[in-house]
Structure 1
Amino acid sequence: MIKCEEITVYSTVSQREGNVTSDMAGEKVLFNVDKGKYYNLGSIGGEIWGELKDPIRVSNLIDILIEKFEVSRDVCEDEVIRFLTMLDSEELLNKHN
């Protein structure tokens, strides 16, 4: 198992290269070319993935999502960090200093 650095609201993250995305019935599906593995990101996960095209601080990502969706900051922060941690554990993210 790969040990990942903890992702916090102060982390800056972006998409790792080598992934192809597609829209399927309103949901974003990601294919990792290196692993030959598919991921269904869903609609909100797809929104998050799109924001990761360029490096972004997690706190700024949360601000964007709060503007787009009716969600409290606490819930959004918990869900975004959980989602980004999953992406990181699958080696789909770059983390920047």
Structure 2
Amino acid sequence: MIKNNLSTDSVVSQMEGNIVSDMDGEKVMLSIQNGKYYNLGELGGEIWELIKEPISIQELVTVLQSQYDVTPAECEEQVISFLNQLIDQGLIQVEDNDHS
């Protein structure tokens, strides 16, 4: 299995074609493309909202870290793990930020 090569410089954004609803404070999503339902949970729903527009993983981690009591390393690890799951399901797109 090929491992997704995400770094904090990677820029992620939502793929089109997903219907997202709020259920008791948690986000649930239906992917039109694969016909599957996903429960993103509270934190996953928050990440989903933050990636409506393209955003670097570093910015994502910074925003979440300011809202939750978590170390930068732990936050980065959790965010990348969640994003890898979304990539595996074809729900987000990734660009490498090579604008140096």
The normalised TM-score by structure 2 is: 0.91
Q: Which amino acid aligns with 1:93?
A: I
- Equivalent position of 1:71 in the other structure: 70
RMSD: 1.2
Query: CA offset at residue 4 of structure 1?
Result: 5.8
Establish whether residue 45 from structure 1 lines up as the match of residue 44 from structure 2.
yes
Query: CA offset at residue 5 of structure 1?
Result: 3.7
- Equivalent position of 1:90 in the other structure: 89
Query: CA offset at residue 7 of structure 1?
Result: 1.2
Q: Which amino acid aligns with 2:94?
A: K
The normalised TM-score by structure 1 is: 0.93
Q: Is the 8 A contact 1:4 1:88 kept in 2?
A: no
Please give the alpha-carbon distance, in whole angstroms, between the structure 1 residues aligned to 2:95 and 2:76. Answer: 19
Matches within 5 A, 1:26-41: 26-41=25-40
Query: CA offset at residue 8 of structure 1?
Result: 1.4
Structure 1 spans left out of the alignment, 5+ residues: none
- Equivalent position of 1:23 in the other structure: 22
- Equivalent position of 1:10 in the other structure: 9
Please give the alpha-carbon distance, in whole angstroms, between the structure 2 residues aligned to 1:65 and 1:78. Answer: 12
Structure 2 spans left out of the alignment, 5+ residues: none
Q: Is the 8 A contact 1:14 1:55 kept in 2?
A: yes
Q: After the TM superposition, which parts of structure 1 deviate over 4 Å for at least 4 consecutive aligned residues?
A: none
Q: Deviations over 1:42-63 (max 9, x none)?
A: 0000000000000000000000
